[in-house]
Amino acid sequence: MTEFRYSNVEKEMEVYGYDGVVKSHCRMCHGGCGVLVYTKKGKVAKIAGDPDCPINHGTLCSKGLASAQLAYHPDRLTYPVRRIGPKGSGKWERISWDQALDAIAERILEYKEKYGPESVVFGYGTGRENEAVIYRIANCLGSPNVLTAGHFCYGPRLSTGIITCGTNPVVDYENFPKCIILWGNNVTIVNADEYKGEPFSVALDHGAKLIVVDPRLTRPAARADVWLQLRPGTDAALALGMLNVIINEKLYDKEFVENYTHGWEPFVKRVNEYPPERVEEITWVPKEKIKEAARLFATTKPAAIQWGVAIEQQNNCVDNDRSLMFLMGITGNIDAPGGQALYRTPDIVNVGHFGAHGMLPKDQFAKRLGGERFRLASRFAILQPKCVWDAIIEEKPYPVKMLFLISSNPVITRPNAREVYRALEKVEFMAVADFFMTPTAELADIVLPAATWLEMDYIGDFWKRHGYILPRRKVIQVGECRSDHEMLNDLAHRIGQGQYWWDTFEQALDYILHPMGIKWKDFKKMNYIRGPVKYYKYKEGGFSTATRKFELSSTVLEKMGYDPLPQHREPPESPVNTPDVYKEYPYILITGVRPPGFFHTENRQIPWLRELHRDPIVEIHPDAAAKEGIQDGDWVIIESRRGKVRQRAKLVLGRDPRIVSAQHAWWFPENKDPGHGWDESNVNILTEDALEGMDPAMGASNLKTALCRIYPESRQGGLP
């Protein structure tokens, strides 16, 4: 039976009259935290952190605590529906699961026959632990087109990690780094991917030195030893400047460099093009600060870099990510205790294998949209979304006729939102699986009711690189909702893929676990399983790269025809690149800094969480606000060359007055019009997605560097 070691479970149950408790694993974000779900008469009554969980040690965030308000929300979709009016009319009728899945299967088979399987695009947004099943159904169908956020989120970290040192290097908080660089990341708020804020805070309490690289004075920046307040979009230049200091002052790990790296000499030559004086000009960071940070990082052992998505949502994302890894590498912190560990997952069927990438025929792989242009992305099965919109709108290079979006709201989350909207209006058939009728779902033909994490059995954290897997256990059933895994398993049988799937999804969980010789019924009684922990593995077998070395000059990028060495690239719109645009749009716009209660477009209808953030907020420096005639709390217009939106101004110090920062992912579920106000405050109306402005290898678009103007709404009489 499941053990409750440190929790007060019995007392809680007695005092509050709960009649049951289930250990599970939250997934209101990317997941990770162990929880105790207390129930009363079959309903969730309270959610608490599980002190026995090695990931969160009993802590939880506001989203996890509010999960029951999501599960029982009155607006939740609890049965499948079919649209009966024109797109966007908001007219729907209830249908059965059989009708819904049969209709979707019929379209998939029809388009496959008429236009080829590549005309059917499956899609998801950020990691909701359904990627393995989505890739499996697409690959078995023969469609190379799975639309994700991977081109500008996590995909770059993973792919550059694999080509540089074999996997994604993860901070080893367990062994207390003595110096941490927090680089373009707010770990204590976002708890993203492998990380939770709690161990980071504990490491600081243990006395770790802290360097923060962020244009904004965040909470961690306020307690940092060194804060590098860079111009958005200049991260690789800053990292190259630090590498320059470390190399020229001979602060690097000579043994590591001599024995375990590839490309040292050309790398040093490239780094020498970035002396601190030049880097100061590019980044706006004073050269003395660059030197101070470089020396502190290189001379304090062990040290680690906690990095985030801000450096990936740039046209230089591959070199940003790689430059950070080079800092970890040449200081000897890779796979070192308290440094940047290359963890191993337990011996299970991994996400890639489950995703059946081997099933995709070579000639279908070659048809991946944008694959010839964004070659690194394509190698990791990642698409550039703009290529999908083009294939729908212009039918180039071939028509995309059907979208099946499972956990994504691209009308709000993808750049150039008006174009996304046009594509979704035009696509011939669209199915969506979601909890609510979002602005994206409103454009679908069929919408399926998805289960929340409280309503499913699953192997949590199965895709992560921190070495743990944890059981998520079904606690409740809401309406006819089903997990994405179950619905796709069922759909797969209807499109002729029966031999690759299972009678029930529990059998798929058994399959994932089978290399360890256990089944789901065994695993669900455990707290977690951890892979073997071993440091400095490269000293025995080298790194899992083409050269078996840590690649400072990438043989993979070189073969693909890219520059194998890192460089700085100006953002496509910037004071340096487009001075004329900068005259008219004199602010650099950061978008998407995460507020604690929302997860992208999610939770705006959850009472506890909407209370935390009532309106969309744009942060502006008081000097800039005074210049523009803006008062704290005013509704303002933010305008770029692509369009305008309205948000509320918050006057904040601690940033360069030339920078403003607007929240992303806003829509208004309380607005009952079928558009739900999708274009009112949606910052992605301002962001751009021209292919030539993106990272050449990964296709990442720029979400932190657009140029904008900002002025009081009253000055212009509202939106046109």
Ligand X SMILES: Nc1nc2c(c(=O)[nH]1)N[C@H]1C(S)=C(S)[C@@H](COP(=O)(O)OP(=O)(O)OC[C@H]3O[C@@H](n4cnc5c(=O)[nH]c(N)nc54)[C@H](O)[C@@H]3O)O[C@H]1N2
Point out which residues bind ligand SF4 (CB under 6 A): 26, 28-29, 31-33, 56, 60-61, 63-64, 191
Instruction: For residues 696 and 343, give the distance between their C-alpha atoms in angstroms, rounded to a whole number.
Output: 29
330 binds ligand X (CB under 6 A): no
Q: Going residue by residue from 184 to 223, which x/- string records binding to ligand X, judged by CB under 6 A?
A: xxx--xx-x--------------------xxxx-x-----
Residue 280 or 434: the one with the smaller Cβ distance to Mo ion is 434
Q: Name the burial class of residue 536, with classes exposed (0-12), middle (13-18) and buried (19+) by CB atoms within 10 angstroms of its CB.
A: middle
310 binds ligand X (CB under 6 A): yes
177-209 b/e (C-beta count within 10 Å ≥ 16 → b): bbbbbbbbbbbbbbbbbbbbbbbbeebbeeebb
Residue 590 or 625: the one with the smaller Cβ distance to ligand X is 590
Instruction: For residues 172 and 537, give the distance between their C-alpha atoms in angstroms, rounded to a whole number.
Output: 15
Q: Measuring CA to CA, how many Å separate 237 from each of 312, 319, 631? A: 14, 9, 35
Among Mo ion, ligand X, ligand SF4, none, what binds residue 321 when CB lies within 5 to 8 Å by partner kind?
none
H/E stretch holding 447 reads strand 446-449
Instruction: For residues 227 and 215, give the distance between their C-alpha atoms in angstroms, rounded to a whole number.
Output: 9
Residue 271 or 683: the one with the smaller Cβ distance to ligand X is 683
407 binds ligand X (CB under 6 A): yes
Binding-site size for ligand X (CB under 6 A) equals 60
- Is the separation of the CB atoms in 586 and 709 below 8 Å? yes
Which residue's CB comes closest to ligand X? 125
Q: Going residue by residue from 655 to 694, which x/- string records binding to ligand X, judged by CB under 6 A?
A: ---------xx-----------------xx--x-------
Among ligand X, Mo ion, ligand SF4, none, what binds residue 214 when CB lies within 5 to 8 Å by partner kind?
ligand X
Provide, rounded to whole angstroms, the least separation between the CB of residue 61 and ligand SF4: 3
- The SS3 of residue 558 is helix
Q: Going residue by residue from 150 to 179, which x/- string records binding to Mo ion, judged by CB under 5 A?
A: ---x--------------------------
Write the CB contacts of 599 (distance below 8 Å, at least 6 apart in sequence).
28, 29, 63
Strands (E), 327-396: 340-341
153 binds ligand X (CB under 6 A): yes
Among ligand SF4, Mo ion, ligand X, none, what binds residue 235 when CB lies within 5 to 8 Å by partner kind?
ligand X
433 binds ligand X (CB under 6 A): yes
Among ligand SF4, ligand X, Mo ion, none, what binds residue 364 when CB lies within 5 to 8 Å by partner kind?
none
Residue 63 or 473: the one with the smaller Cβ distance to ligand SF4 is 63
Among ligand SF4, Mo ion, ligand X, none, what binds residue 409 when CB lies within 5 to 8 Å by partner kind?
ligand X
594: amino acid identity, one letter: R
Q: Measuring CA to CA, how many Å separate 158 from each of 35, 167, 348? A: 28, 7, 19
Instruction: For residues 664 and 448, give the distance between their C-alpha atoms in angstroms, rounded to a whole number.
Output: 26
Residue 492 or 556: the one with the smaller Cβ distance to ligand X is 492
482: left (phi over 0), alpha (psi -120 to 50) or beta: beta
Among ligand X, ligand SF4, Mo ion, none, what binds residue 76 when CB lies within 5 to 8 Å by partner kind?
none
Among ligand X, Mo ion, ligand SF4, none, what binds residue 388 when CB lies within 5 to 8 Å by partner kind?
none
489 binds ligand X (CB under 6 A): no
Instruction: For residues 173 and 179, give the distance between their C-alpha atoms in angstroms, rounded to a whole number.
Output: 11
Provide, rounded to whole angstroms, the least separation between the CB of residue 429 and Mo ion: 28
Sheet holding 34-40, edge to edge: 20-25, 34-40, 43-49
Q: Which parts of 66-95 interact with ligand X (CB under 6 A)?
A: none
Provide, rounded to whole angstroms, the least separation between the CB of residue 191 and ligand SF4: 4
Instruction: For residues 70 and 344, give the distance between their C-alpha atoms in angstroms, rounded to a whole number.
Output: 34
103-140 b/e (C-beta count within 10 Å ≥ 16 → b): bbbebbbbbbeebbbbbbbbbbbbbbbbbbbbbbbbbb
Provide, rounded to whole angstroms, the least separation between the CB of residue 438 and ligand X: 4
Please identify which residue in 7, 18, 26, 29 interacts with ligand X, judged by CB under 6 A: 29
Which residue's CB comes closest to ligand SF4? 64
Omega before 397 within 30 of 0, i.e. cis: yes
Report the chain's terminal Cα–Cα distance, integer Å: 62
Please identify which residue in 316, 345, 364, 413 interacts with ligand X, judged by CB under 6 A: 413
Q: What is the DSSP string of 660-716?
A: EEE------TT--STTTTTTTS-GGGT----GGGS-TTT----SS-EEEEEEEGGGT
Among Mo ion, ligand X, ligand SF4, none, what binds residue 33 when CB lies within 5 to 8 Å by partner kind?
ligand SF4
Residue whose entry in the numeric block shows the structure tokens 């496959």: 112
- The SS3 of residue 442 is helix
620 binds ligand X (CB under 6 A): no
Tokens of 31: 């997941």
DSSP label at 602?
B
Dihedral angle over CA of 42, 46, 52, 56, nearest 10: 130
Provide, rounded to whole angstroms, the least separation between the CB of residue 629 and ligand X: 25
Q: Which parts of 578-607 interact with ligand X (CB under 6 A)?
A: 590-594, 596, 598-602
Provide, rounded to whole angstroms, the least separation between the CB of residue 234 and Mo ion: 21
Among ligand SF4, Mo ion, ligand X, none, what binds residue 32 when CB lies within 5 to 8 Å by partner kind?
ligand SF4
Contact range with ligand X by CB under 6 A, out of 35-43, 232-240, 528-536, 629-637 = 232-240
Provide, rounded to whole angstroms, the least separation between the CB of residue 104 and Mo ion: 27
DSSP-assigned beta bridge partners for residue 645: 638
Contact range with ligand X by CB under 6 A, out of 225-233, 377-385, 463-471, 641-649 = 225-233
Please identify which residue in 59, 126, 306, 315 interacts with Mo ion, judged by CB under 5 A: 126
Residue 96 burial (CB count, 10 A) = 11
235 binds ligand X (CB under 6 A): yes
Provide, rounded to whole angstroms, the least separation between the CB of residue 187 and ligand X: 7
Among Mo ion, ligand X, ligand SF4, none, what binds residue 60 when CB lies within 5 to 8 Å by partner kind?
ligand SF4
Tokens of 537: 């593995």
Residue 714 burial (CB count, 10 A) = 12
704 binds ligand X (CB under 6 A): yes
Residue 68 or 427: the one with the smaller Cβ distance to ligand SF4 is 68
Interacting residues with Mo ion (CB under 5 A): 126, 153
Q: Give residues in contact with ligand X (CB under 6 A).
A: 29, 125-126, 128, 130, 149, 153, 183-186, 189-190, 192, 213-216, 218, 230, 232-233, 235, 308-311, 313, 406-410, 412-413, 433-436, 438, 450, 484, 590-594, 596, 598-602, 664-665, 683-684, 687, 703-704
